Amino acid sequence: MAGLVLPPCNLPRDRGNDRKDEKMTAPISALTWAYNEQDRLEGALTELKPYVDEIIVIDTDSTDNTMEIANAHATKVIKKPRLLCGDMYKETLANEAKNDWLLWFYADERWPKKTLETFKTLVEKEKKYNCFAFMRHEFLDDIRVQWQEGSITKFHGTLEHPNYQNRLNNKAEGLYYTELVHAEVFGNVKVCPMPPEYYFEHRKSRIGQEFDNLRTYVWMKHLIWKYEGCEIEPYKTYVNSYKRIVRETLDSRKEHIAEQEWWKWREHWVAEEAIPELKGTA
């Protein structure tokens, strides 16, 4: 959605939402999956909770307090093996959701109050669209990502440099989820790009951002080792995909030194870490 240049759609007006005593909770299921997000997850959940009537979190084998934080704030928490590929988690979350409208979010994102207060109006009064795209503002170390063009400071997440992401969608027939990480939707989608003043923020550290792609690559290698020879689906399909990604990635670029060190790290992953019932044939 980063290249989307459609003009923002016109929003339905709900004057009732101007009243301070208006109940803002919308019939929306907020959905996410998380791994070792104890430092950021609580803020994301408490921020959304007053505006949605269901929150579902998939914990992907976290080793910190992510599970405990999710249990304290979410409506439902599901534990799944860490497989990286978001497709599996998205389908599970969509099927578990009780509402027709789904909001996709992540622990490292924050939603301003003005954006949150539009949710109820959008899902209860809008009939033309089944998906809403919000502009995403990028932050590194609490500073908004910017660049200079001459004497002018430029930002992503503006109409001049759009950074739209589909985040609120209805369970429409013919709609499906794909991509490794981002909660994009495809198929029978009628997207309303929201005006830029209704945005959300993606907040990461510079070190974390630079290491993300490498960490994903290393985890793919780890999962190939962990589920090698497994004939149970969906593990077999995902592992075969990871093998192809790793092989083609190595063919197209120089291997990073940290990736070379992976083979040393591997020696310290004891055999017990692999789930016994998933090793070998079913």
Q: Percent of the chain having pLDDT more than 90?
A: 37
Domains of the chain (ranges, CATH numbers): 15-204 (3.90.550.10), 206-278 (no CATH)
Q: How far is CA 14 from the centre of its chain?
A: 29
Q: How many helices (H) and strands (E) does the chain have?
A: 8, 14
Q: How far is CA 32 from the centre of its chain?
A: 6
For residue 101, the model assigns a pLDDT of 96
Name the nearest CA neighbour of 70 among 101, 104, 35, 95. Answer: 35
Q: How far is CA 180 from the centre of its chain?
A: 9
For residue 163, the model assigns a pLDDT of 86
Q: Tell me the average pLDDT of the chain.
A: 79
Higher pLDDT, 261 or 54: 54
**Is 265's pLDDT higher than 90?**
no
Higher pLDDT, 118 or 11: 118
**Is 16's pLDDT higher than 60?**
no
Q: For residue range 211-241, what is the model confidence (pLDDT) as tens digits?
A: 666 667 777 787 888 888 888 877 787 788 7
Q: For residue range 46-75, what is the model confidence (pLDDT) as tens digits?
A: 999 999 999 999 999 899 999 999 999 999
**Is 80's pLDDT higher than 80?**
yes
**Is 15's pLDDT higher than 90?**
no
Q: Is 53 helix (H, G, I), strand (E, B) or coil?
A: strand
Higher pLDDT, 264 or 119: 119
Q: For residue range 108-128, what is the model confidence (pLDDT) as tens digits?
A: 999 999 999 999 999 998 788
Confidence of residue 178 (pLDDT cuts 50, 70, 90): low
Question: What's the CA gap between 53 and 71, in Å, rounded?
Answer: 15
